[in-house]
Amino acid sequence: MASSQLMADYRRWLTFQRQEQLSREHQGIEQRIEQARASATQVVQGYRSMAEKAATEGACYRTLFLRSHDNEDALVCEGWLFIRRMLSESNQTRVRATLLETFTLEDGIMQPGDKPARKVTLEIYDRLQMEKGMRTNPRVDCIDASEGYHFLTLLDAVRGDLRQHLK
């Protein structure tokens, strides 16, 4: 086997390893949120805090999200989210943000700015789960693109050096 083919196979294997790692991380965070019985109101407070830090310090937060594909499989993707503003009307909260993707299975690991930043609108709501005894779980889904949903944004993973890639 040629060394270039061997290296290509190795990089591909690393990409699949990263995909599996992110899938386990997403599932673990989802379980912790469920066990904590968090509400959409608590998630909104977290996003408000992120918006304040974004405005004052240019903070971007690491986010994991699911993306559907043609065959309806959903794979975890990774990126950095810059919260531009929050919109609240009655019981509905929307978040205007800019997303810098840093991992997809198709593209592998990317550096911020390798792909153009994408403006997204996220909606925060409580999802009713009938199979779990009428419990609710907070959800954050992208409403202006059908491919990105169930965003899990981490308050403890923050960067302030990505502003140049947000335009």
Structure confidence at residue 92 (pLDDT): 84
Q: What pTM value is reported for the model?
A: 0.89
pLDDT digits (tens, 9 = 90+) for 60-107: 999 999 998 777 788 999 999 999 999 988 778 999 999 999 999 999
What region does 90 belong to: left with phi over 0, alpha with psi -120 to 50, or beta? Answer: left
CA angle 95, 98, 100 (to 5 degrees): 135
Compare 54 and 148 and report the one with higher pLDDT.
54
11 exposed, middle or buried (CB, 10 Å; 0-12, 13-18, 19+)? exposed
pLDDT classification of 132: cutoffs 50, 70, 90: low
Q: Which structural domain range is residue 14 located in?
A: 3-165
Query: How many structural domains does the chain have?
Result: 1
Query: CA 68, CA 66: separation in Å to the nearest integer?
Result: 7
Among the ranges given (10-14, 33-37, 68-72, 152-156), the one the predictor scored with the smallest mean pLDDT = 68-72
